[in-house]
Amino acid sequence: MSVEWWRRLRRGGPAEPPGGGRESVPRSPQPDPPRYRRPKFLRGGEESPRGGRAVRGTGPERPLPWGSGYAEVINAEKSEFNEDQAACCQISVRRREPSLEEDQEWLILCSTQFLTGYYWALFDGHGGPEAAIIASNYLHYCIKQKLEEAAGAIVEACPPMHLSGRCVCDSDPQFVEEKHIHAEDVVVGALENAFQECSVLALDFCQEAAVESSTLVHIALQSCLNPQDEVIGQEMEATNQTGGCTALAALYFQGKLYVANAGDSRAILVLKDTIVPMSSEFTPETERQRLQHLAFLFPKLLDGEFTRFEFPRRLKGDDVGQKVLYRDYFMEGWGYKLVEKADLKYPLVHGHGKQVLCSYIRFVWGQARLLGTLSVSRGLGDHQLKVIDTNIEVKPFLSCIPKVNIFDFGLHDIKEDDVLIMATDGLWDVLCNKEVAHMARSFLAENRTDPHRFSELAKSLVCRARGKKRGHQWMLDDSQEASYDDISVFVIPLHNRVEDC
Amino acid sequence: MSVEWWRRLRRGGPAEPPGGGRESVPRSPQPDPPRYRRPKFLRGGEESPRGGRAVRGTGPERPLPWGSGYAEVINAEKSEFNEDQAACCQISVRRREPSLEEDQEWLILCSTQFLTGYYWALFDGHGGPEAAIIASNYLHYCIKQKLEEAAGAIVEACPPMHLSGRCVCDSDPQFVEEKHIHAEDVVVGALENAFQECSVLALDFCQEAAVESSTLVHIALQSCLNPQDEVIGQEMEATNQTGGCTALAALYFQGKLYVANAGDSRAILVLKDTIVPMSSEFTPETERQRLQHLAFLFPKLLDGEFTRFEFPRRLKGDDVGQKVLYRDYFMEGWGYKLVEKADLKYPLVHGHGKQVLCSYIRFVWGQARLLGTLSVSRGLGDHQLKVIDTNIEVKPFLSCIPKVNIFDFGLHDIKEDDVLIMATDGLWDVLCNKEVAHMARSFLAENRTDPHRFSELAKSLVCRARGKKRGHQWMLDDSQEASYDDISVFVIPLHNRVEDC
């Protein structure tokens, strides 16, 4: 398993000779940072003027697979760029013959020689737009690559123990059956590995120094990266970018919908009579115990600056000597802890919910943060991110592992207005699943003859969450505060799906 | 937080002077290993002859709280002793005044001065009966102790931020409310901490050498123990026992039922129209990813003898060079891995399910095992357990953290025949939830006037799982193999609960 294919794709040069030592491999020139852009399938040119926050969407001139709709709006001057990114394409997976070398031409994205999948993805960047752009450029390549590596197995109802199909033991099929391993498990494995690989790709843009800190940090760093690091490490280069992004990807493949999520975006299926959540959010709050446990195992990661304990509020001098409510890594409940001076340090996970306090242009985001820095706990990138004014790395606490949910179309009778809705947190911060489902059902019922109704619904959802400007504030219809964040929405009609893939 | 109370209780001597260094504290004499016994509330004397596997239960002469029933049977000569243990009692929780010193008489178990709880627990031992006996002797003390430490907070609907009730910040109640912290969360925290403390108590019986291996093992060991180890470490003593046990504890307190589980026992509520699972099992299979991740972070824990990867079967020489189905710590799905020689090592988690192959007296247990040694991944004890013929410690992989489930009686209309059924894996290996619920409903409906029907139901369940002896085999009614394990069952009638506690 190497990502040679990607290096060649990016550089156009030959692959490095295998087996070369760290010293013997010549360094490639430093790559350029990716150019800022909006998704190619958006109608019109580049960004429109900031102040108005015009909602942009897909038009009939560039139809997306299945007639999907997409719309987006930039944040209310929270950051210079729209840090959300989106990708959507068909993925053609060709069976890879064991004898073929990697320099064969099997990387062409849209060949139709074998199995066809459909892919939609959203990336919500932070600390700059680069990581989200890299991920939107490459995650589908990683997925295609991982699916092709296992293509022979995916077409079997019960995948073979050996990819070659050779049966080393007569009872091998029985072992696979007893473990309940099905083709869909191999697709899930491909998605999990693709997220790992894409995170490693982002590392390729970063400085080698990022992993040359203390041994302890290095050990913990490995928990976020995969063993391929040893290969990748030889070529780590710098563009000095520190950003990261969340990743939410939907893949339709062989009659099933797979939704892989690492971060706080969300996907829901809005069916005629029910809403099916297809993802869970990964934030410092939902992953508190994992983060605290890592800090317990490797206390040096906190460098004496943070406490791993959770308290209802940040403690102060008057609390010392008192017994105060707290939680440690092993607790879902709460206990009382005798407060010591060390407990006054800033908490590893602090704040909760999403309290958006807004007063004229300037924002205070009160949501839960990891190390006072990040409001998500999973995603891609962030390899160089440090807590401001310290030498504390954030990356060891982050995970790029997605949770994958599966929806089997064979088990459901899909109706004409059934849709998959994917959106970044900009939508979900101000609208709940029920509100979004209600809007989708009403809108689609009222616009049944409009061929572009899925694009229009995406725009309508973005408009609703962005609200209207009243003075200096963006407000929802009910006078609640609207979303000041970047907002991106896909609406994917399930009834239009191409069944023959 | 110290366990001085327990040391004094066990030794009858005065507490050690606080602040004494490791060298200055005189060593206490080596404690005796706990004497083997059956639960005190069992009818009749000690163990009956082995071969017949007579089912023993509670009788009217020693009624249990709420008229609960209990029954048990020893294993089919798998081990010398019945390694299951049971405990049941009333727990009286007295508010602990901050000014009271620990040598006050507030440890009396059955005082009725304040809040009353009811407690039932099952412990399934392995590697000898000692750990289960220690746990059955002391876990309720630990729970009582932890509840008393927070007693002032438990009676409030919304616990105070400061145990003293003093309000350091005016907005403290609001912080607690925003975190959604309720009294029940403090009870859950007390149970979680009690399991930790009880595991540390078991350590007190073990050799100091157990934690004096490599630094890395020591770091990882800490993940299983709590910071109190530093205190306990000073007094670690030996009885050369290596065993451990699972722990399933039910606590009725303030109108709610709390079920805390660490291991593979199970509790279900059998209500009139529904079955409510009150626990989840923790086995090497259900915790594969946690175990693999630990091995990834600390590869030295495997000492070069095991591989952390999961394969459908153990690999052999012919598999080297092939791509074979595998899973790593970050995967719920499966991928293909090019097999190297190192992959032929014995897997960290191996086997699956519970294939009990029986041929005349001798058994081969094929279920999933951790390090080829243990079939559970959570519990108490096992501090000295090593993989046979190696120096590899099992304890770093084990967790004593229970998962706590809550059932609020205030939200349900409890009917006359509604019961909580708790049992060790000896029952659940051969009977599923539905079968047990069906038996319970039928039996109780047919025996409504029998005052001892809950004891009789417990016996009936144990009898059913033990089966009948045909030749050298124990068989179920339907000619399937019966349970050869120790079997212990509590049947707790919910309608009889004492509401005023």
Identify which of B413, B436, B423, B432 has the alpha carbon closest to the alpha carbon of residue B270: B436
Q: Which of B218, B325, B337 to mutate to test the interface with A (most CBs of A within 10 A)?
A: B325
pLDDT of residue B257: 97
Interchain CB distance below 8 Å, A161 and B325: yes
Distances (CA, A) of A361 to A54, A364, A425, A484: 18, 10, 20, 10
Q: Residues 47 to 86 of B: which have CB under 8 A from any A CB?
A: none
Supply angle C-alpha A382, A388, A390, rounded to 5: 100
User: CA B382, CA B221: separation in Å to the nearest integer?
Assistant: 12
Give chain A's end-to-end CA distance (angstroms, integer).
Answer: 27
Chain centroid to Cα B89, Å, comes to 17
Q: Which of A172, A181, A323 sits opposite B334 (nearest CB)?
A: A181
Model confidence at B406, pLDDT cuts 50, 70, 90, reads very high
Strands B356-359 and B362-365: antiparallel
Q: What integer is the mean pLDDT of B8-19?
A: 44
Render pLDDT for A218-250 as a digit per residue (tens, 0 to 9): 444 444 333 332 222 232 234 555 688 999 999
User: CA B358, CA B484: separation in Å to the nearest integer?
Assistant: 9
Classify residue B491: in a domain, yes or no. no
pLDDT of residue B498: 74
Distances (CA, A) of B445 to A62, B422, B462: 68, 20, 19
Rg (alpha carbons) of chain A, rounded to whole number: 24
Q: What integer is the mean pLDDT of B218-227?
A: 40
> What's the half-sphere exposure (Cβ side, CA atoms, 13 Å) at A399?
24
Question: Does residue B465 register a pLDDT over 80?
Answer: yes
User: CA B143, CA B120: separation in Å to the nearest integer?
Assistant: 12
Interchain CB distance below 8 Å, B188 and A333: yes
Tell me if B200 sits within 8 A of B3, measured CB to CB: yes
How far does B335 lie from chain A, in Å, by closest CA? 5
The tens-digit pLDDT sequence of chain A (501 residues) is 445 655 555 554 443 433 333 333 344 455 566 789 999 888 765 556 667 899 999 988 889 999 999 999 999 988 889 999 999 999 999 875 544 444 444 444 434 357 899 999 999 999 888 889 989 988 999 999 999 999 888 888 789 999 988 888 899 999 999 999 999 999 999 999 999 888 876 665 543 333 333 333 344 444 433 333 222 223 223 455 568 899 999 999 999 999 999 999 999 999 999 999 999 999 999 999 999 999 999 999 999 999 999 999 999 999 999 999 999 999 999 999 999 999 999 999 998 665 443 333 223 345 799 999 999 999 998 887 889 999 999 989 999 999 999 999 999 999 999 999 999 999 999 999 999 999 999 999 999 999 899 999 999 999 999 999 998 899 998 788 999 999 999 999 999 887 654
Contacts of A338 in chain B (CB under 8 A): 1
Distances (CA, A) of A477 to A3, A52, A444: 49, 17, 21
User: CA B163, CA B146: separation in Å to the nearest integer?
Assistant: 13
Classify residue B329: in a domain, yes or no. yes
Instruction: Choose the most confident range, by mean pLDDT, from A149-158, B49-58, B225-234, B258-267.
Output: B258-267
pLDDT of residue B229: 28
What are the two backbone dihedrals, phi and then psi, of residue B250, each rounded to the nearest 5 degrees? Answer: -115, 135
Question: Does residue B501 register a pLDDT over 60?
Answer: no
Number of domains in chain A: 1
Classify residue B91: in a domain, yes or no. no
- pTM attached to this predicted model: 0.86
Interchain CB distance below 8 Å, B353 and A187: no
User: CA B435, CA B454: separation in Å to the nearest integer?
Assistant: 17
Give the residue, B220 or A476, on which the prediction is more confident: A476
Tell me if A291 sits within 8 A of A350, measured CB to CB: no
Name residue B407's beta-bridge partners: B257
User: CA B120, CA B189: separation in Å to the nearest integer?
Assistant: 18
What are the two backbone dihedrals, phi and then psi, of residue B193, each rounded to the nearest 5 degrees? Answer: -70, -30
Classify residue A335: in a domain, yes or no. yes
Q: Does A163 touch chain B (CB under 8 A)?
A: yes
Q: Which of A197, A322, A334 to mutate to test the interface with B (most CBs of B within 10 A)?
A: A334
How far does B120 lie from chain A, in Å, by closest CA? 20
Burial of B62-73, coded b for 16+ CB within 10 Å and e otherwise, reads: eebbbbbbbbbb
Give chain B's end-to-end CA distance (angstroms, integer).
Answer: 27
Classify residue A291: in a domain, yes or no. yes
Render pLDDT for B334-356 as a digit per residue (tens, 0 to 9): 999 999 999 999 999 998 665 44
Q: Which of A149, A353, A404 sits opposite B332 (nearest CB)?
A: A404
Q: Residues 187 to 216 of B: which have CB under 8 A from any A CB?
A: 187-193, 196
pLDDT of residue A7: 57
Q: What integer is the mean pLDDT of B81-106?
A: 73
Render pLDDT for B308-339 as a digit per residue (tens, 0 to 9): 999 999 999 999 999 999 999 999 999 999 99
DSSP three-state, residue B343: helix
Tokens of A34: 């990716």
pLDDT of residue A359: 31
Q: What integer is the mean pLDDT of B66-78?
A: 93
Classify residue B315: in a domain, yes or no. yes
Chain centroid to Cα B170, Å, comes to 41
Question: Does residue B10 register a pLDDT over 50?
Answer: yes
How far does B49 lie from chain A, in Å, by closest CA? 39
pLDDT of residue A98: 46
Interchain CB distance below 8 Å, A297 and B327: no
pLDDT of residue A382: 85
Identify which of A4, A499, A5 has the alpha carbon closest to the alpha carbon of residue A253: A499
Work out the number of other CB atoms within 10 angstroms of the CB of residue B309. Answer: 22
Classify residue A221: in a domain, yes or no. no
Share of chain B above pLDDT 90, in %: 60
pLDDT of residue B210: 37
Question: Does residue B361 register a pLDDT over 80?
Answer: no
User: CA A376, CA B67: separation in Å to the nearest integer?
Assistant: 51
Numbers of helices and strands, H then E, in chain A: 11, 22
Classify residue A292: in a domain, yes or no. yes
Supply angle C-alpha A293, A374, A51, rounded to 5: 165
Interchain CB distance below 8 Å, B401 and A192: no
Which of A322-336, B16-30, B71-85, B388-402 shows the lowest mean pLDDT across its residues? B16-30
Rg (alpha carbons) of chain B, rounded to whole number: 24
Identify which of B421, B490, B403, B442 has the alpha carbon closest to the alpha carbon of residue B268: B421
Q: Which residue of B has its CA nearest to A159?
A: B325
> What's the half-sphere exposure (Cβ side, CA atoms, 13 Å) at B406?
18
State the residue range of the domain holding A330: 283-375
